[in-house]
Amino acid sequence: MTSHFQYGVSLYSYTDDFGTVMDLEDAFYHVSETGSTGIEILGETHLPAYPQLETAWLDRWFGLLDKYRLEPTNFASWIDTDIQRRRDMTVEEGARQLTTDLELASRLGFKFVRPKFGVIDEELTPHPIWEGCVERVLDLAAKLDIIIIPEIHSPTPIRHPVVEGYIDFIQRTGTKHFGLLIDTGIFQDRPLPFWQHETPEMRDGAMSFLNGIKVPVEQLAEVIEYTPFIQAKFHHIDEELHDHNIPWEKVIPALKSLGYSGYLSSEYEGKRDPWVAIEQVRRQHALIRKLEREWEQANPSKPKEQRDA
Amino acid sequence: MLEHTPIQSSGFSNIGPDEDRTGFCLRIRQPNYRGLRMSLVEGIKVVVDEIEYPAATNLYRLGERTYTFDELDAETQARWPVGTAIEVLVDKPGGLDVGVHLVEIEVLLRHPYFPPQFRPAPVHDRRHITIIR
């Protein structure tokens, strides 16, 4: 039997609605209404007393998971290496931050923690403390059974020293508690609209990645064994279920062919007018489910007996 | 819950006794998608009717605590959470006139995961809001 994708939504999708026109239960409702089974949150966004966890909030969290039949997927964490204007974080501080987030994630029932390390250049090379920080918490991650997954995010492509560094780390330590999170923004092949204050000069220069870095989907094969989680980044899907930036008609068959059966966790990053995100996420789920169904119909799996023979 | 724009109209008010206003208060919703340590907030510039009140001379009240511009950098633990407003306290003897004002802000946020040349990154907002008394 073919394994299916798991569908989820990151509450990042509802940025600016959350806290103005949407509370936590509204968010749960909208996620569950997409037919998702998984919910992704951001520690510093969705825990009101972060890094504290109030008992009443914890009770509410588990109540909502139960009521809306959702499971926690990925917990987003930040390692703010550039912590003060004239001082960088030490390895010890970074490891403490990761420890805090692993423990919070575990108490809330998450299986993945996405650390976002500060960077030192335009290609998003993580601050060199990343390796020491992660190495110090690997035992804890193993004990809590959580996988730490830094994201591969535009403008960093798959074939890049950042990715090689992470894979070297996995091979050197032999850990099963560190992997890659692929953000589908790396496959973007058409430009995004200009952001507030962006000029054509900026777009031609440092912001050119917003035109799309167009990573070939075939390169997923090179990292899929290290990739237990995918953030389904997108920006705009129109009334014809046509995505204006991300080539899902290539991404989905590539993932299906590779046998990926982990989460696709929606990350809407587009217009922030109230309630737009709710409908955009629904369109993405309709589109991806349609493409998955079409691929499965075109590639019927062999009965189990035949496979084993 | 808060107004959708970063600039909040409710809370826009003069400070000090009626006959001796010392300045005004402006509430700003956390405009970023995650709550930030105060040390990542490099101040908020306020412009009212084209008169500029620089980030370095404003005060920032978050809950019970009030920070000067320099104290923001030292606060590496307390965070300005999403879904909450910070109060910017602006020194202006006499306060602002009652009525509608054009208010503009520039919030400077340092995102460590942005390339160095984009740190800090500005967030702008602009809105007509009203002083009632």
Question: What integer pLDDT is reported at residue A305 of this predicted model?
Answer: 47
* Structural domain harbouring B48: 13-131
A225 occurs within a structural domain: yes
Residues of chain B in contact with residue A44, where contact means CB-CB under 8 angstroms, are 34-36, 79, 81-82
Q: Report if residue B26 sits inside a domain.
A: yes
Cβ atoms A87, B110 nearer than 8 A = no
Give mean pLDDT in consecutive 10-residue pieces for chain A, a chain of 309 residues. Answer: 88 97 98 98 98 97 98 98 97 98 98 98 95 98 98 97 98 98 98 87 90 98 98 98 98 98 98 97 98 97 51
Task: Enter the DSSP assignment of B133.
Answer: -
CA atoms of B102 and B100, how far apart (whole Å): 7
Separation of CA B28 from chain center: 5
Range of the domain at A255: 6-308
Q: How far apart are CA A168 and CA B101, in angstroms?
A: 58
Count of H-run helices and E-run strands, chain A? 10, 9
Bridge partners (DSSP) of residue A39 are A9, A72
Q: How many domains does chain A have?
A: 1
Answer yes or no: do A274 and B4 touch at CB < 8 A.
yes
- Nearest chain B alpha carbon to A12: B33
In angstroms, rounded to a whole number, what is the distance separating the alpha carbons of residues A13 and A267? Answer: 5
pLDDT at site A272:
95
Known active-site residue A4: no
pLDDT number for residue A2: 57
B7 occurs within a structural domain: no
B1 is a domain residue? no
CA distance B114 to A124: 8
**Assigned domain for A1 exists:** no
Write the secondary structure of B45-100 as one string of H (helix), E (strand) and C (coil). Answer: EEEECCEEECHHHCEEEECCEEECHHHHHHCCCCEECCCCEEEEEEECCCCCCCEE
Angstrom distance (rounded) from CA B118 to CA A122: 9
Tokens read off for A247:
């080539």
Looking up residue A264, the CATH number of its domain turns out to be: 3.20.20.150
Establish if A24 belongs to a structural domain. Answer: yes
| A192-223: burial string, b at 16+ Cβ within 10 Å, e else | beeeeeeeeeebeeebebbebbebebebbeeb
> Cis (ω within 30 of 0) for the bond into A200?
no
Are residues A196 and B114, on separate chains, in Cβ contact within 8 Å? no
ipTM above 0.90, yes or no: yes
pLDDT at A197: 76
Chosen from B42, B113, B119 to mutate, greatest number of chain A CBs within 10 A:
B113
Chain B hits for A12, CB-CB cut-off 8 Å, are 33
Q: Is the dihedral of CA B17, B18, B20, B24 positive or negative?
A: positive
Would B4 be classed as within a structural domain? no
State the count of interchain CB pairs (< 8 A) between A and B: 91
Burial code (b: 16+ CB inside 10 Å, e: under 16) for B11-44 equals ebbbbeeeeebebbbbbbbbbbbbbbbbbbbbbb
Per-residue pLDDT tens digits of chain B, which is 133 residues long: 999 999 999 999 999 999 999 999 999 999 999 999 999 999 999 999 999 999 999 999 999 999 999 999 999 999 999 999 999 999 999 999 999 999 999 999 999 999 999 999 999 999 999 999 9
The domain total for chain B is: 1
Q: Is A104 on the interface with B (CB under 8 A)?
A: no
